[in-house]
Amino acid sequence: MNGYRPVLVEPALFRSVFRRHAAGVAIVTAQGEHPVGFTATSLTSLSAQPPLLTFGISATASSWPTVNTAGHVGVHLLGEEQKQLAATFARSGVDRFAPPTSWHPGPEGVPVLDGVLAVLICRVVSRVPAGDHTLVIAEPVHVRHGEPGQPLLYHDGGYAALRT
């Protein structure tokens, strides 16, 4: 089979292979009793007609209970200078919306982060269980271009900038 051999793909091997795949960095927010949000590298454009996107969230994520019941979520595309913001929303046990995070209530009551490349406020269409995560499928209902700039990427376990 041209050098390929069947192997049991352990989670650690699977993660090490995907460390070679660069992904854009986004923050997903939702409003419950209080605002919640998390850093996502699983954001994908799913369909152009109708416009749909998807992202994955772990069932153990602190944001999951709110995202699981939210009718709308905010998807924020981060710029290369926003490594600290991405790190804040990836960290457990902190108030992600406390200063220096700059945000405001947006359409549909969704928390909107300031200074990002773009914001999509989305209606949640479906939640699909997938292993230890859930895929959330959402339809953008409000879209805003934000600051111009280059995207923040996640590659090989760290944040990176696009080289042109």
**CATH number of the structural domain spanning residue 45:** 2.30.110.10
What are all long-range contacts of 89-93, with beta carbons under 8 Å and residues at least 24 apart? 89/27, 89/37, 89/38, 89/39, 90/38, 90/39, 92/62
Instruction: Please tell me whether residue 36 adopts helix, strand or coil conformation.
Output: strand
Domain-embedded: residue 163: no
pLDDT of residue 130: 95
Domain-embedded: residue 4: no
| pLDDT tens per residue, range 58-108 | 999 999 999 999 999 999 999 999 999 999 999 998 999 999 999 999 999
Provide the domain limits for residue 103: 23-156
List of residues 6+ apart from 25 with CB closer than 8 A? 39, 40, 41, 78, 82, 86, 151, 152, 153, 154, 159
* Residue with tokens 């406020």, as numbered in its chain: 121
pLDDT of residue 103: 98
pLDDT of residue 13: 83
Q: pTM of the entire structure?
A: 0.91
End-to-end C-alpha distance for the chain, whole angstroms: 37
Task: Report the number of distinct structural domains present in the chain.
Answer: 1
